[in-house]
């Protein structure tokens, strides 16, 4: 695993996050209708779920075309989803999934 792009990721965070976060911190944000607030609260988990689904379930076939691939990563995502549904804690679910995959890779299984 390479860490050469960590600096770029930090730069991208510094440039893109503040313009998105500042409007959410303004006092007028709380005056939005409850339905809009509920929608905005669910945008993050929905985007994370979409990214996880594509990264975990779509592989590359022998001819370079996309194929559905079920592996240990899919098991980790399912475990994450189960923990989030059970404990209502996204951070805990992600931590369990990362530890599961790291352990399986360290053991040479995944």
- The model's pLDDT over 12-50, given as tens digits with 9 standing for 90+, comes to 999 988 887 877 777 776 677 889 888 888 888 889 888
Give the residue among 68, 76, 74, 84 at the shortest CA–CA distance from 100.
Answer: 76
Q: How many residues does the chain have?
A: 110
| pLDDT, tens digit (0-9, with 9 covering 90-100), for 72-98 | 999 998 999 899 999 999 899 999 999
Structure tokens at 17: 């996050």
């Amino acid at each position: 695993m390479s860490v050469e792009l960590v600096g770029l990721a930090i730069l991208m965070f510094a440039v893109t996050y503040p313009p998105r976060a500042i409007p959410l911190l303004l006092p007028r944000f709380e005056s939005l209708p409850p339905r809009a607030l509920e929608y905005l609260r669910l945008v993050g988990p929905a985007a994370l779920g979409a990214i996880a689904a594509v990264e975990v379930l779509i592989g590359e076939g022998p001819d370079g075309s996309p194929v559905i691939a079920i592996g240990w990563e899919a098991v980790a995502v399912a475990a994450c989803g189960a923990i989030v549904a059970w404990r209502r804690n996204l951070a805990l679910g992600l931590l369990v999934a990362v530890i599961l995959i790291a352990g399986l890779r360290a053991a040479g299984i995944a």
